[in-house]
Amino acid sequence: MTQTDETAALVSGLPDRQPTRISEHIVEVVSDSGEGAQKCGQTFGTISGKMGNGAWTVEIIPAEIQPPARSPAGASGIRIRVADSYVTNMGDEADLVVAFNEQVLYSRIANGAYKKGTVVLLDDKWASDPQEEIREQYAAAVGEFRDNGLVVHELPIETECLKIVDNARKGKNMFVLGMLCHIYSRDVQMGLDEIASAFARKGDAVIRPNQELFRSGYRFAAEHVDYHYRIDPWTDDMGPTVVTNGNQAIGLGVMASGMEMVAMYPITPATSASHYLADVFQDAGGFVHQAEDEIAAAGFAIGASYAGMTACTITSGPGMALKTEMMGLAVMGEIPLVVVDVQRGGPSTGLPTKVEQGDLLSTLYGMPGDAPKVIIAPATIEECFHYVILARKLAEAFRTPVFVLTDANLATGVQPYPRPVPQEEWLAAPIDQSAWDSNVPAYDWDPQTGLSPRPIPGQRGGEYVLTGLSHTNRSKVAYDSDTNQTSCEHRSRKLAALGKTLKPPVINGDDEGDLLVVGWGSTMGAIEEAVNKLRDAGHKVSSIHLRFLSPLEPQLKEIFSRFRQVMTVEINYSDRPDAPQITPENRRYAQLATVLRASTLVDVDCWSVVYGHPMQPGMIHKELNRRLTAMHNEI
Amino acid sequence: MFGLKADWSLDVFERYFTLGDYAGGEARWCPGCGDFAVLNTVHRVLRDAQLPPEQTVAVSGIGCSSRLPHYMGTYGFHGLHGRALPLANGIKSRRPDLDVWVATGDGDCFSIGAGPWIHSIRYNMDMVVLVFDNAIYGLTKKQTSPTSPEGMLTNTHPYGAPLPALNPLTVTLGITNVSFVAQVVDWNPPLLYETIKAAHQHKGTSFVRVIQRCPVFSQDFCKPMQEHPEQMLLLTHENGIPMDDSVKRVFKEQHEHDPSDWVGAMAIARDESRIPLGLLYHDPDAPVYDVLSSAGREKTNEEKLAAINAALDSFAI
Ligand SMILES: Cc1ncc(C[n+]2csc(CCOP(=O)(O)OP(=O)(O)O)c2C)c(N)n1
Ligand code: SF4
């Protein structure tokens, strides 16, 4: 690793310690909200990405909007998993934590974020707080943490910052960034550059003290913190790389897909995709419409699509619920449309900032009547980008709404991935305004595929009335009994036709074995990490990860038949088989499991939880290990 | 002769539109329904404007009146109950070149569609909104609507509608950025024609409440007005709806009202002793949202790709 001149200058005169090589670490920075822990962690993640590491960053969002200071509910911060290999998920317990106060750690501990041996670097300012109550709380917490196996180091972080700035609340994060950069042997010049670009708009007067804090944190760690590691760059060269979260990837995908209209209503965790777009979309000729509610947002997007400009609406579960009638209309009227659902937990404001894969069944079946539609689920942040482009193409080719299901884990996770190279053919063709042969009906269904070309307002000869009433191929209201049957058949046939073009899923692991794990969406990284670890330990376990949920990818039944057991791992509710009252007949299965059971008639089992946080490899590993061990004991 | 080709005028005549070009399937409303008059008037206004049928889109919600697009020879979108306006706004958003008409009912607009009603008036996108107000739910057979007069006997209120009727004029006038509010009855063809024509010429959302006869379910709503035209107050002004003597002879109660006078319009709308006919309010300069929403349509693929590449580069490491 080359150290720049800056680094050399900074460490000159300091003890020359050789860093210990590690292959990965999970780091957290936790504070009250507003103390900049997230900025600190994001910058740390970016520097790591630039240094060629694999990384996954995920924000720790406070449970309350205006939490009191020093409260567990206020825990705000960030987790960064850095490795010398590709990182696909947030991992299990943290290795090292920097905390701005001790109270916020309680909520992380309650979330199972730490293990025995997790190193905690804690600001010691509370030990000398003027309020006795705070001093006592602090002392009690430190004792308790140590009793529970955390390795707590009390450090004068505030005191050190006050040597440089008057208000340590603003700036402590950059001091901590400096500390982390020394601990993990990050490049100092990169750190300084990141600070300069982060504060570029605020000018030198802000950049300089922040860089000073950074330098001072770096030196402080060199002198006073024993931990000193290096994580080597990942050898696979990705080529040009970008670092985004999943919602930014969705926004970029919308731009690159050639869609020019996003109609939305704010809802966490979907909104940040629109925030991002609202900032840059106009440069590509696009527009974000903030509608009066989700129904209107869907209507607005459908209107734009009907008029020839395939549009997108971005929402989360409760918004999806409101949009259902519109979605049914889009299916029936065969209107191309892209709907992004960044899933969260629960109805209402159930678990607004938490993760759940709870909308698969409602997206599949939540509309009145029969409403066949395409549902795809990106499994990585990179796929969030590419799947929006795919979605517009499918929507237009199959004249149907296409639903892209992501979740809060993908939305807020940050990861480096190969920079996509935008293609002109991804963009939409100009709206066709040539004359339409008036002999061709508005729904000239191909009897084999159900597909039909679509007249666009402005096309002379194509005039038709799109209607939610049951209609003939000329879009005339039907009063006979056959029409509804026929038109439903054609709409359904489109899905089958699309399904025929899909490839079977790629199997991670052997083609046959004891256990096959099936997942979808954001859980892929965690599932594969757990499965691969079990395989390394000699277990016959494999996994597949479905990207197409409607239509389903082909050959599932055949693949399932090669495993003794098949189960899904999902983040949505299912009854545990051993729960009170539960029998094999009344058990409610996880959502994908329900779909797979119905479509394959295979006795697909499931393991799913709704703790509200992303699937972690350790949890999956434990459950799979338990099952595999039980299977072996049966033999 | 004169060096002209014999068919020199064919191109022009080929695109001369007759009423038939704007008409679609045979209208199926009840005999005596006021919706026929509005439909015919829309055909006439379009014919007189000579707009190509393929450039016109008729959008509606659900209800008797919302069947209108099916009886047009233009493009149409028969949408969802209460949701015609978001669909119409979306159509207009990237296609300001299209001529958009909305047909909606009193239930469709003022009840289930109340949210879109308010916000669409504020968006003020360039379209004509015709509310067919028969003070009853027709399609679903005689349930109370927000504009059913207090005491009206309906199937959901067989002992009489319990509340005073909602006043659509004051509500609409009260919405920020309102730009065109008119009221008319379906049974006076010249006034109906001129009102819809003026609405069509206005650039912005033209809100026209058409008091509409439903002889089947709400006879008592319009009949007194027909029998006692002195209940109506004809709004006259040089900037108002043009009206000939035939109109003025029927509606003898008249009031000179400048449609740019919002306070005066509110006073007229609030006075429930008279039913105003004509143009209550007109602001030709209110901002129109389609200008914003359609910005950037002219960007070339090169410009778009450059923007996308710049966006990606801002995340490059
Ligand atoms: C979501 C939904 N709710 C209810 C209905 C049933 N429905 C259809 S039209 C209508 C009322 C129509 O009344 P109005 O808007 O006054 O129109 P009119 O039929 O009188 O012209 C109702 C309640 C529906 N189609 N969709
Ligand atoms: S029920 Fe009333 S509104 Fe509906 S078509 Fe008949 S007359 Fe017209």
pLDDT of B126-173, one tens digit each?
A: 999 999 999 999 999 999 999 999 999 999 999 999 999 999 999 999
Q: Which two tokens stand for residue B209?
A: 């409440």
Q: Match 């659902």 to its residue by tokens.
A: A341
User: Rounded mean pLDDT of A585-589?
Assistant: 97
Mutate to test the interface with A, among B57, B93, B291 (most CBs of A within 10 A): B93
- Which backbone phi and psi does A282 adopt, to 5 degrees? -60, -25
Residue B170 CA to residue B33 CA, distance in Å, equals 26
Probe ligand 1: pick from B140, B166, B218, max atoms within 8 Å of CB?
B140
Band the pLDDT of A27: cuts 50, 70, 90: very high
Strand pairing category for A76-83 and A24-31: antiparallel
Average pLDDT, chain A: 94
How many CB pairs (< 8 A) connect A and B? 203
Tell me: pLDDT of B6 over 60. Answer: no
Q: What is the reported pLDDT for A1?
A: 39
With CB atoms and an 8 Å threshold, state whether A284 touches B87. no
Quick one: A309 exposed, middle or buried, by C-beta within 10 A (0-12, 13-18, 19+)?
buried
List of residues 6+ apart from A223 with CB closer than 8 A? A14, A15
Q: What is the reported pLDDT for A2?
A: 47
- DSSP letter for A18, please: P
Tell me: pLDDT of B10 over 60. Answer: no
Q: Which two tokens stand for residue B75?
A: 């493009």
Residue A66 CA to residue A170 CA, distance in Å, equals 18
Residue A417 CA to residue A411 CA, distance in Å, equals 15
Tell me: pLDDT of A388 over 70. Answer: yes
In this predicted model, which residue has the larger pLDDT, A348 or B306?
B306
Share of chain A above pLDDT 90, in %: 85
- CA of B54 relative to ligand 1 center, distance in Å: 28
Q: What is the reported pLDDT for A9?
A: 76
pLDDT of A396-405, one tens digit each?
A: 999 999 999 9
Q: Does A32 contact chain B (CB < 8 Å)?
A: no
User: Rounded mean pLDDT of A55-59?
Assistant: 91
Please name the residues between 234 and 253 in chain B that touch chain A, using a CB distance below 8 Å: none
**Min distance A34 CA to chain B CA atoms (Å):** 24
Residue A75 CA to residue A71 CA, distance in Å, equals 7
Q: What is the reported pLDDT for A214?
A: 97
Tell me: pLDDT of A635 over 70. Answer: no
Q: Which two tokens stand for residue A41?
A: 């962690």
Which of A88-97, A199-208, A306-315, A372-381 comes out lowest in average pLDDT?
Answer: A199-208
- DSSP letter for A426, please: G
User: Rounded mean pLDDT of A270-276?
Assistant: 95
User: Rounded mean pLDDT of A381-408?
Assistant: 97
Tell me: pLDDT of A350 over 80. Answer: no
Q: Which residues share a beta bridge with B240? A: none
**Min distance A549 CA to chain B CA atoms (Å):** 28
Nearest residue (CA) to ligand 2, atom 1: B138
B289 lines ligand 2 (CB under 6 A): no
Q: Does A263 contact chain B (CB < 8 Å)?
A: yes
Tell me: pLDDT of A170 over 50. Answer: yes
Q: What is the reported pLDDT for B1?
A: 43
Q: Is A251 helix (H, G, I), strand (E, B) or coil?
A: helix
| Max Cα distance, chain B (Å) | 78
Band the pLDDT of A633: cuts 50, 70, 90: confident
Q: Match 């729904």 to its residue by tokens.
A: A443
Cβ-Cβ contacts under 8 Å, B24 against chain A: 465
Phi-psi region of A590 (alpha: psi -120 to 50; beta: other; left: phi over 0): beta
Q: Which residues share a beta bridge with B211? A: B133, B185
pLDDT of B17-52, one tens digit each?
A: 999 999 998 999 999 999 999 999 999 999 999 999
Which of A54-63, A359-368, B260-269 comes out lowest in average pLDDT?
Answer: A54-63
Q: Match 């055909």 to its residue by tokens.
A: B43
Tell me: pLDDT of A561 over 90. Answer: yes
Quick one: B151 exposed, middle or buried, by C-beta within 10 A (0-12, 13-18, 19+)?
middle
User: Rounded mean pLDDT of B295-317?
Assistant: 95
Q: How many CB atoms lie within 10 A of CB A190?
A: 20
Residue A328 CA to residue A324 CA, distance in Å, equals 6
List of residues 6+ apart from A553 with CB closer than 8 A? A499, A502, A503, A504, A505, A546, A547
pTM of the full predicted structure? 0.94
pLDDT of A454-467, one tens digit each?
A: 999 999 999 999 99
Residue A70 CA to residue A101 CA, distance in Å, equals 6
User: Rounded mean pLDDT of B112-135?
Assistant: 98
End-to-end CA distance of chain B: give it in Å, rounded: 75
Q: Does B163 contact chain A (CB < 8 Å)?
A: no
Residue B239 CA to residue B202 CA, distance in Å, equals 12
Q: Which domains does chain B have, with CATH numbers?
A: 29-294 (3.40.50.970)
Average pLDDT, chain B: 95
With CB atoms and an 8 Å threshold, state whether A309 touches B94. yes
Q: What is the reported pLDDT for A6?
A: 74
Strand pairing category for B136-137 and B127-133: unpaired
Q: What is the reported pLDDT for B164?
A: 97
Band the pLDDT of A67: cuts 50, 70, 90: confident
Q: Provide the H-helix boundaries in A225-270.
A: 246-256
Q: Which domains does chain A have, with CATH numbers?
A: 3-230 (3.40.920.10), 242-422 (3.40.50.970), 433-501 (no CATH), 513-634 (3.40.50.920)
Band the pLDDT of B7: cuts 50, 70, 90: low
- CA of B184 relative to ligand 2 center, distance in Å: 18
**Min distance A298 CA to chain B CA atoms (Å):** 8
With CB atoms and an 8 Å threshold, state whether A287 touches B93. yes
Band the pLDDT of A386: cuts 50, 70, 90: very high
ipTM for the predicted complex comes to 0.95
CA of B31, nearest ligand number: 2
Minimum Cα–Cα distance from A313: chain B residue: B90
C-alpha separations of A254 from A286, A378, B290, B314 in Å: 9, 14, 21, 16
Minimum Cα–Cα distance from B296: chain A residue: A285
Cβ-Cβ contacts under 8 Å, B79 against chain A: 299, 329, 468
Residue B205 CA to residue B155 CA, distance in Å, equals 34
> Among residues A32, A55, A64, A41, which one has the least CA distance to residue A353?
A64
Please name the residues between 266 and 285 in chain A that touch chain B, using a CB distance below 8 Å: 280, 282-285
Pick from B83, B92, B311: CB nearest A252:
B311
List of residues 6+ apart from A632 with CB closer than 8 A? none
- CA of A415 relative to ligand 1 center, distance in Å: 49
C-alpha separations of A240 from A237, A389, A414, A592, B153 in Å: 9, 20, 16, 36, 72
Q: How many CB atoms lie within 10 A of CB A434?
A: 10
Q: Which amino acid is at B301?
A: N
Q: Does A287 contact chain B (CB < 8 Å)?
A: yes
Tell me: pLDDT of A4 over 70. Answer: no
Tell me: pLDDT of A379 over 60. Answer: yes
With CB atoms and an 8 Å threshold, state whether A300 touches B55. no
DSSP secondary structure letters along A138-172: HHHHHHHHHHTT-EEEEE-HHHHHHTT-S-TTTTH
Tell me: pLDDT of A108 over 70. Answer: yes
Minimum Cα–Cα distance from B70: chain A residue: A465
Q: Provide the H-helix boundaries in A148-293.
A: 157-162, 172-183, 188-198, 204-224, 246-256, 271-280
Asked whether the beta carbons of B203 and B227 are under 8 A apart, the reply is no
Probe ligand 1: pick from B28, B60, B62, max atoms within 8 Å of CB?
B62
With CB atoms and an 8 Å threshold, state whether B303 touches A49. no
> Among residues B122, B88, B121, which one has the least CA distance to residue B103?
B88
Q: Is A397 helix (H, G, I), strand (E, B) or coil?
A: helix
In this predicted model, which residue has the larger pLDDT, B184 or B12?
B184
With CB atoms and an 8 Å threshold, state whether A243 touches B78. no
**Min distance B81 CA to chain A CA atoms (Å):** 10
Q: Is A447 helix (H, G, I), strand (E, B) or coil?
A: coil
Q: Which two tokens stand for residue A117?
A: 């041996």
In this predicted model, which residue has the larger pLDDT, A469 or B91?
B91
> Among residues A386, A389, A261, which one has the least CA distance to residue A314?
A261
Which of A1-10, A422-431, A505-514 comes out lowest in average pLDDT?
Answer: A1-10
Minimum Cα–Cα distance from B74: chain A residue: A463
Q: Which two tokens stand for residue A94?
A: 């943290």
User: Rounded mean pLDDT of A415-423?
Assistant: 94
Q: Which two tokens stand for residue A600?
A: 């394959």
Band the pLDDT of B5: cuts 50, 70, 90: low
Question: Which is the closest atom of ligand 1 to the Cα of B137?
Answer: 13
- CA of B40 relative to ligand 2 center, distance in Å: 16
C-alpha separations of A453 from A304, A433, A456, B81, B120 in Å: 17, 13, 10, 27, 31
Nearest residue (CA) to ligand 1, atom 10: B63
Q: Is A615 helix (H, G, I), strand (E, B) or coil?
A: coil
Q: Does A483 contact chain B (CB < 8 Å)?
A: no
Question: Which is the closest atom of ligand 1 to the Cα of B132?
Answer: 21
